[in-house]
Chains A and B, each alone.
Chain A
Amino acid sequence: GAVVSQHPSWVICKSGTSVKIECRSLDFQATTMFWYRQFPKQSLMLMATSNEGSKATYEQGVEKDKFLINHASLTLSTLTVTSAHPEDSSFYICSARAPGTGELFFGEGSRLTVL
């Protein structure tokens, strides 16, 4: 099946710093990728839809200046958590939509811990 890879799988950073998480579709071109956040013992919450070559669409309540999304190529989307705080500590997951079938494939997730 299609593979979506995230990097890093885990990261620890100091409060106030910025962290970038990459999401790559390894064997297909994805014009659309999605970013989710998951807190412990909770479900996945959709943060934003990343569209190649255009601005991301953010879900209600998600700060676009806090969570910067860039989808510069058909195989790469990045999520940058700016000025991270401990409450941003979470499991961040991306998914990519395959062309044609529209199927969605998920990355392995990236665990962010902000000290």
Chain B
Amino acid sequence: DAKTTQPPSMDCAEGRAANLPCNHSTISGNEYVYWYRQIHSQGPQYIIHGLKNNETNEMASLIITEDRKSSTLILPHATLRDTAVYYCIVRALTGTASKLTFGTGTRLQVTL
């Protein structure tokens, strides 16, 4: 079971911020929220992860709600190269819960 729920698809205009939501209402206390993306016919690419605080790196920002039941991945200035399937995954760092179980993800289409 993927344990996350994401909208199947989203569109975003190039240069605008892309906000991708994810629900993970059954997340456990030791589970992190991870985001990966997969561009067509490539392996998944790590984007960002967090436990309970908001995180930012050179690719994106991750906003996690205080109750940790949902999060939003923000691509601040989307480009055409950001068109991909984005996966939100919850996992622990050790033990059997550390394996990544992929849901259906959100297909983001960035347009001119």
Contact = CB atoms under 8 A, between A and B. Distances in A.
Contact of B44 (A97, A106, A111): A106
A109 B42 contact: yes
Nearest to B100: A104
Interface stretch (B14-22, B72-80, B102-110): B102-110
A79 B104 CA distance: 24
Contact of A93 (B43, B98, B101): B43
Given A43-B103, A101-B93, A106 B98 contact: no
B43 A43 contact: no
Given A101-B93, A102-B93, A102-B94, A46 B42 contact: no
Interface in B33-66: 36, 38, 41-46
B69 interface: no
Interface size class of B (residues with CB under 8 A): 10 to 19
A103 interface: yes
Nearest to A10: B41
B1 to A, nearest CB: 12
14 contacts: A43-B102, A45-B102, A46-B101, A49-B99, A101-B93, A102-B93, A102-B98, A104-B46, A105-B46, A106-B43, A106-B44, A106-B46, A107-B43, A108-B43
Interface of B: 36, 38, 41-46, 87, 93-94, 98-105
Given A43-B87, A46-B100, A93-B43, 20 more contacts: A1-B46, A43-B104, A44-B44, A44-B102, A45-B102, A46-B99, A46-B101, A93-B44, A95-B43, A97-B98, A101-B93, A104-B100, A106-B36, A106-B44, A106-B46, A108-B42, A108-B43, A109-B41, A109-B42, A109-B43
